[in-house]
Structure 1
Amino acid sequence: MTEPTVRTMTEEEYLRWDGPRDAKWEFVDGFIYAQAGASKPHDLISGNILRILLNATEDSSCSAIPSDLKVRVYRDGRPRYYLPDIVVVCESNMVGNVETQPCLIVEILSASTRAVDETFKASDYQRLDSLQGYLLVDSERQRVMFHRHTTQGWRLEEVSDAVDLPCLDVPLSVDGIYRNVPL
């Protein structure tokens, strides 16, 4: 996440706003934040994961959606809108370009997003009742972390070989994630 804009917006203004096309914009506590452009490794990783998820959703009621889908979460009664790299939805509650019931969220980490994705977003996403998993994939080195929702709460797993993704019941291997990614 980059520095916020100086002027605050209401939720309604943000949802109507069609900001500059050179960035994607998230909404947190009345401020909008530009999302930095993606690196080549980021794009390759995203493509690798999306291909696997699209194949897994082909004959299911679930959908795998890349980065333009806003996900709304609430913190302290206030809405926040994030644009995850990939969202899997099985029981959609979509209004316009906003989803409130994702079952899996994927964020690809970079130097500029790592701290926010691993802390604030992880905490915010885990407030979603529908969310079963939050996958964090590093774009600067081979490292994959997975937050899994269990009956005892959220558990963080470091993925060394593969992770069984909820919602789709499909394995995602570290080799598959980083296939042809020059790191």
Structure 2
Amino acid sequence: MAEQGKRGLARMFAEQAPVLRGFFVRRGANDEAEDLVQETYLRLLRAHQAGGAAIGNPEAYLFTVALNLAREQAVRRQRPVQSLEEMENMAALLAVGDSVEDATDRDQRRKRLQALLADLPERTRAVLVMQYRDGLSYKQIAQRMGVSSHMVKKHVVRGLARCRQALAEDAPTP
């Protein structure tokens, strides 16, 4: 019975996918419209599989999810892009020094960075490592992980935000 429900959702989604694509494009997500359409469907499937109350009107639910995704996308577009200074600060954590004090500081920073990375979800950690250590692009990471470039970007943004927050909490107050 659950399988029939999935097939019904898949059929409804196939019919609505072009409409959803247009919905996202009209809201300015030209490059990410396809990813957002797929994310909408995934959220619908997750809700269906959660085993809670049955979705009374799957089509309405689909468009509610799409509207929420469009709003999330609009908020993300308004956030400032990571500055060059922030990226240089990240690189400074890995910089090589000459003195014993520099080596000690570098070792402490390395351990702190490892601890921060260890606290991140596995996929987010993998994305950050592939981007910063291996120098891979979002597209290359997406291909390796079998996800969209948009999802890679989400992992990078979330991971860096969590690291920044943890570092800010650890910083001494003047």
Q: TM-score, normalised by structure 1?
A: 0.22
Report the structure number with the largest CA radius of gyration: 2
Q: Which has the higher strand share?
A: 1
Q: Which has the higher helix share?
A: 2
Q: TM-score, normalised by structure 2?
A: 0.23
